[in-house]
Structure 1
């Protein structure tokens, strides 16, 4: 699935005033006058740029998802969790009474699969798409997203048997036989830690630069008082809050008032939140569990910048452009879900490392 982002053309700049020297003016005087004209307009060139028009509207979630995974408790062995599928349910925003326990009877919107217990790779699929494929074990399942974690290089492959080599050569001569269509990659990006002393994660995509971070106590209280907008339960305690922000670097004037010499600054806009608490976490998991599920709310207007709603540049009957915007909107939601699951996976890995360190310290003493 491929989507293309289009930007409206910038308005044409006003033409600069032309300088016509007099025929009787000496050449050296012409250069002096030209430099003087440039110097006279330099204050306007070096003045502060117009302020960045950031989104001042409050966070309004338009998509509510429930991620169901028990996580890893403290009292457990430091082993990888079982490769159980992680369902992601879509909730109706107008029903604030919907809890985590009420999603067991519905069909999940997404499903995260891990092939083996010791495997770090995960695949995000759509159960609706998978259900429409023929019920055959050989039917290929096309994932919406694939997450690969760093691992040591695999050992060299063993020598091929003559029969295997012959089959590979025959398939190379006849590429149309037993061929599956290749899926186009919408985007590929690494998730990089923001530092050694923080759990924040940053990644750059075709939609911009984003960052997952853990909110502090004051922000959690503020979020709890606001009830996270429409669709969240009143009085639901927020014990853990993950915030996804769009990071935009805005240029500032170097000769700004006050003597500031900053070249640019970061403007952060909240586009999604992952909430965990007694009401929103996965049933059976506790507040001390690492990587447990919760409520994921997304503001699609801030995430994709209002794409797909039709603008002045859209032409009637342009079905291809509308399709591309719809694909871009869907893949943006997939991006949020996948990166949120990666943050949960990192919580489990951190808990396992803590358990191994405690066991090693107890054994050494």
Structure 2
């Protein structure tokens, strides 16, 4: 019995989600999500009665355009900068064919690793690197693989979400817009802002997984909130999900063209 070994290039080209396992409803949900979830017309001052912005970080991720072969992203390092331009964090992948990554601080200390698994129903798991990152130090994900909203469970049992929100104030003064919003127990923790001023250079509004300004609330890093590293690591996971959806839709388009 012979086995076929994929080359690195073939692995990079393999879809993030097996096409054979995508049902009709899931296909529709993927296409809808890829169309509407990545465009943001937000401002750098998100408006919310319970949200007090205390700090901004910039995620330097170029994203994936619409018209492109469904290759895995070539960017192996994603840098996260402070407002003064200094590096705050660095997320590193070992190779292009793997989504697994490790978040380190500016001194190189490894903080959180994220493990990705191939196929639907196999959600990513985040591990705290301290104390070996055992089961008690895991952050679990719970949402449907096609969903734009992602639920997370902290080791202490608390749940938080990242979701796309469209509301007045995100699009500028008295204007509506869309942003990625993190909430814990109904309280806003952070907002990822992506517009012409904050989007990573080289990206467009239609790019999937593009970076921008990550605005942190005043409870991040406190007992009632969560660690800044958790906010950053889970935000990067949301950008990875955008890229996975984009690549899967690109594969579906190519498959449909070949079949025709």
- Once the two structures are superposed, residues 177-213 of structure 1 have per-residue CA deviations (whole angstroms, 9 ceiling, x without a partner) of xxxxx745483121121x4773100011137210110
| Contact residue 194 and residue 211 of structure 2 kept, 8 A | yes
TM-aligned CA distance change 1:346 to 1:243, over 3 Å: same
Q: Distance in 1 between matches of 2:115 and 2:176?
A: 31
TM-score by length of 2: 0.69
- Once the two structures are superposed, residues 140-174 of structure 1 have per-residue CA deviations (whole angstroms, 9 ceiling, x without a partner) of xx51110001148xxxxxxxxxxxxxxxxxxxxxx
Q: What SS does the corresponding residue of 2:139 show, helix, strand or coil?
A: coil
- Aligned match for 1:66, one of 48, 58, 66: 58
- Once the two structures are superposed, residues 316-362 of structure 1 have per-residue CA deviations (whole angstroms, 9 ceiling, x without a partner) of xxxxxxxxxxxxx6xx1000000000000000000000000000111
The residue that corresponds to 1:222 in the other structure is 169
Q: Distance in 1 between matches of 2:221 and 2:104?
A: 21
Q: Distance in 2 between matches of 1:121 and 1:66?
A: 21
1:186-335 matched pairs, under 5 angstroms: 187-193=137-143, 195=144, 198-205=147-154, 206=156, 208-216=158-166, 219=167, 221-225=168-172, 240-247=178-185, 268-301=186-219, 304-305=222-223, 332-335=227-230
Tell me how far 1:84 sits from its aligned partner: 2.7
Q: Distance in 2 between matches of 1:63 and 1:278?
A: 20
Tell me how far 1:306 sits from its aligned partner: 6.0
The residue that corresponds to 1:337 in the other structure is 232
Stretches (4+) displaced over 4 A: none
The CA RMSD measured in Å over matched residues stands at 2.7
Higher relative contact order (CA 8 A, sep 6+): 2
Q: What SS does the corresponding residue of 1:67 show, helix, strand or coil?
A: strand
State yes or no: 1:75 paired with 2:105. Answer: no
Q: Distance in 1 between matches of 2:145 and 2:138?
A: 24
Identify unmatched segments of 5+ residues in structure 1: 1-55, 93-105, 131-141, 153-181, 228-236, 248-267, 308-328
TM-score by length of 1: 0.50
Q: Distance in 1 between matches of 2:170 and 2:157?
A: 26
The residue that corresponds to 2:81 in the other structure is 89
Q: Which has the higher helix share?
A: 1
1:11-90 matched pairs, under 5 angstroms: 58-90=50-82
1:112-123 matched pairs, under 5 angstroms: 112-123=91-102
1:79-158 matched pairs, under 5 angstroms: 79-91=71-83, 106-127=85-106, 129-130=107-108, 142-151=109-118
Q: What SS does the corresponding residue of 1:62 show, helix, strand or coil?
A: strand
Tell me how far 1:301 sits from its aligned partner: 2.1
TM-aligned CA distance change 1:356 to 1:91, over 3 Å: same
Q: What SS does the corresponding residue of 1:351 show, helix, strand or coil?
A: helix
Q: Distance in 2 between matches of 1:197 and 1:82?
A: 23
Tell me how far 1:239 sits from its aligned partner: 5.2
Q: Distance in 2 between matches of 1:238 and 1:273?
A: 15
Tell me how far 1:224 sits from its aligned partner: 3.6
Q: Which has the higher strand share?
A: 2
Structure index of larger Rg? 1
Q: What SS does the corresponding residue of 2:147 show, helix, strand or coil?
A: coil
